[in-house]
Amino acid sequence: MLELALLFVVIAIIAGALGATGVAGLTMSIAKWLVLLFLVLAVISFVL
């Protein structure tokens, strides 16, 4: 899941460099949610 978030960050950086701000914003939002989901699942995994 973390790899997928990093992929979305890279896509967002490339899209931002090419001027596609809508795509860059969307992919950064997806990456942010994937990182948060990863952190929540990691904490649950460590607790249990």
Q: What's the number of domains the chain is made of?
A: 1
pLDDT in tens, 1-48: 788 888 988 999 999 999 888 889 999 999 999 999 999 999 999 998
- pTM (2 d.p.): 0.79
pLDDT computed for residue 40 by the predictor: 94
pLDDT computed for residue 46 by the predictor: 93
Task: Estimate to the nearest angstrom the gap between the alpha carbon of 27 and the chain centroid.
Answer: 7
pLDDT computed for residue 6 by the predictor: 87
* Structural domain that includes position 11: 2-47
**Residue carrying structure tokens 């490339």:** 14
